[in-house]
Structure 1
Amino acid sequence: MTIATFIPPNIKDPRLVGRSYDMVINGKHEIAGSGKVIERIAPGHGIAVGEWPDASADDVRLAISAARVAFDKGPWPRMSGAERSRIMYRVSQLIVANVEELALIESLEVGKPISQARGEIDFCADLWAYAAGQARALEGNSHNNIGEDRLGLVLREPVGVVGIITPWNFPFIIASERVPWSIGAGCTVVLKPSELTSGTSIRMAELALVAGVPPGVFNVVTGYGDPAGQTLAEDPAVDMIAFTGSSRVGIHLGAIAARSVKRVGLELGGKGPQIVFADADLEAAADGIAYGVYHNAGQCCISGSRLLVEESVRDELLARVLDISRRVPFGDPLNEKTRIGAMISKGHAEKVDGYVKAGKAAGAELLIGGNPAGSGDGHYYEPTVFQNVRPDMSIAKDEIFGPVLSTLTFRSADEAVALANGSEYGLSASVWSTNLENALQTIRRVRAGRCWVNSVIDGTPELPIGGYKKSGLGRELGRYGFDEYSQFKGIHVTLGRPGRWFTS
Structure 2
Amino acid sequence: MTVLVKPKALGDYKVREFRMLIDGKWVDGAEGRTLERVAPGHGVTVSRYQAAAKVDAERAIAAARRAFDDGPWPRMTASERSLVLLRAADMIAARADELAFLDAIESGKPISQAKGELAGAADIWRYAAALARDLSGESYNTLGDGTLGVVLREAIGVVSIITPWNFPFLIVSQKLPFALAAGCTTVVKPSELTSASTLVLGEILEAAGAPAGVVNIIVGTGPEAGAPLTSHPDVDMVSFTGSTGVGRLTMTNAAQTLKKVSLELGGKNPQIVFPDANLDEFIDAAVFGAYFNAGECCNAGSRLILHRDIADEVTARIASLSAKVKVGDPLDPKTQVGAIITPQHLEKIAGYVSSAASDGATVAHGGAALDLGMGQFMAPTILSSVRPEMAVAREEVFGPVLSVLTFETTEEAIRIANSIDYGLSAGVWSRDFDTCLTIGRRVRAGTIWMNTFMDGASELPFGGYRQSGLGRELGRHAVEDYTETKTLNMHIGQRTNWWMPR
Match of 1:4 among 2, 10, 22: 2
Q: Could you tell me whether the CA contact under 8 Å between 2:18 and 2:50 is conserved in 1?
A: yes
Q: TM-score, normalised by structure 1?
A: 0.98
The reply to whether residue 484 of structure 1 matches residue 481 of structure 2 is yes
1:385 aligns to what? 382
Report the equivalent of 1:357: 354
Partner of residue 199 from structure 2, selected from 188, 198, 202: 202
Contact in 2 for aligned 1:369/1:385 (Cα 8 Å): yes
1:317 paired residue number? 314
Instruction: Report if the CA contact (8 A) 1:283-1:320 is conserved.
Output: no
Moved over 4 A (4+): none
1:125 aligns with 2:122: yes
The answer on whether the counterparts of 2:2 and 2:322 sit within 8 Å (CA) in structure 1 is no
Correspondence 1:35-46 to 2 at 5 A: 35-46=32-43
* Partner SS for 1:142: strand
How do residues 57-206 of structure 1 correspond to structure 2 at under 5 angstroms?
57-206=54-203
Equivalent-residue separation in structure 2 for 1:159 and 1:263 (angstroms): 9
| 1:17 positional shift | 3.9
Q: Which residue of 1 aligns with 2:24?
A: 27
Aligned twin of 1:448: 445
Please tell me whether the aligned partners of residues 287 and 321 of structure 2 are also in contact (alpha carbons under 8 angstroms). Answer: yes
- 1:217 and 1:320 map into 2 onto residues whose CA distance is 52
Structure 1 unaligned blocks of 5 or more: none
Q: Is the 8 A contact 1:301 1:401 kept in 2?
A: yes
Deviation at 1:262, TM superposition (A): 1.0
1:170-198 CA-partner distances (Å, limit 9, x unpaired):
11011000000111111001000001000
Is this contact kept in 2: 1:100–1:118, CA < 8 A? yes
Give the Cα separation in 1 of the matches to 2:179 and 2:238. Answer: 11
What amino acid is aligned across from residue 468 of structure 1 in structure 2?
Y
Moved more, 444-453 or 173-182: 444-453
* Distance of 1:367 and 1:138 partners within structure 2: 52
Task: State the Cα distance separating 1:376 from its structure 2 match.
Answer: 4.3
Residue correspondences, number: 501
Deviation at 1:311, TM superposition (A): 1.2
- Taking structure 2 as the reference length, what is the TM-score of the superposition? 0.98
Give how far 1:206 is off: 1.1
Residue pair 2:6, 2:373 contacting (<8 A) in 1 also = no
SS in 2 for 1:480: coil
Distance 2:79 2:407 in 1: 53
Contact 2:10 2:42 in 1 (8 A): no
Cα gap change, 1:376 to 1:350, in 2 (>3 Å): farther
1:291 aligns to what? 288
Q: For 1:215-248, what per-residue CA distance to the aligned partner results, in whole angstroms no more than 9, with x for missing partners?
A: 1111100000011000111110101111111111
How far 1:332 moved relative to its partner? 0.5
CA distance in structure 2 between the aligned counterparts of 1:140 and 1:23, rounded to whole angstroms: 37
Q: Structure 1 residue 425 and structure 2 residue 422: aligned? A: yes
Q: 1: distance between equivalents of 2:267 and 2:213?
A: 34
1:7-46 per-residue CA deviation (whole Å, 9 max, x = no partner) reads 11111466x4421111111111111111111000000000
Deviation per residue, 1:42-78 (Å, 9 max, x gap): 0000011111111000011111011000000001001
Q: Which amino acid aligns with 1:286?
A: I
Partner of 1:300: 297
CA-based RMSD: 1.1
Task: Work out whether residues 147 and 489 of structure 2, in 8 Å CA contact, stay in contact via their aligned partners in 1.
Answer: yes
| Residues in 1 aligned to 2:123 and 2:195: alpha-carbon distance in whole angstroms | 21
Tell me the CA shift for residue 439 of structure 1.
0.8
Q: Does 1:405 align with 2:397?
A: no
> Per-residue CA shift, 1:239-274, capped at 9, x if unaligned?
111111111111011011111111111111110111
Residue in 2 aligned with 1:503? Answer: 500
Q: Distance in 1 between matches of 2:367 and 2:213?
A: 48
- The reply to whether residue 280 of structure 1 matches residue 277 of structure 2 is yes
Give 1:278 shift: 1.1
Cα distance in 1 for partners of 2:305, 2:446 equals: 18
Partner Cα separation in structure 2 for residue 104 and residue 374 of structure 1: 23
Confirm or deny: 8 A CA contact 1:130 1:461 kept in the other structure.
Answer: yes
Letter of the structure 1 residue corresponding to residue 366 of structure 2: G
TM-superposed CA distance for 1:147, in Å, is 1.3
Q: Secondary structure at the match of 1:121?
A: helix
Superposition deviation, residue 386 in structure 1: 0.8
Residue type of the partner of 2:367?
G
Once the two structures are TM-superposed, the CA of residue 207 in structure 1 deviates from its matched residue by 0.2
Q: Give the secondary-structure state (helix, strand or coil) at the position aligned to 2:261.
A: strand
Corresponding residue number in structure 2 for 1:466? 463
Give how far 1:125 is off: 0.1
Please state if 1:247 is matched with 2:244: yes
1:49 alignment counterpart: 46
SS in 1 for 2:460: coil
Distance 1:13 1:132 in 2: 41
Shift of 1:295: 0.6
Instruction: Report the CA distance shift for 1:17/1:334 in structure 2 as closer, same or farther (over 3 A).
Output: farther
Amino acid at match of 2:3: T
User: Does the residue aligned with 1:60 lie in a helix, a strand or coil?
Assistant: helix
Q: Which moved more, 1:256-265 or 1:494-503?
A: 494-503
Q: Give CA deviations for 1:279-333 in whole Å, capped at 9, x if unaligned.
A: 1110110110111110110000111100001111112222221111101101110
Instruction: Determine if contact 2:2/2:327 at 8 Å carries over to the other structure.
Output: no
Alpha-carbon separation, structure 2, partners of 1:294 and 1:477: 24
Q: Identity of counterpart residues, as a percentage?
A: 47
Name the structure 1 match of 2:221.
Answer: 224
* Residue type of the alignment partner of 2:38: I
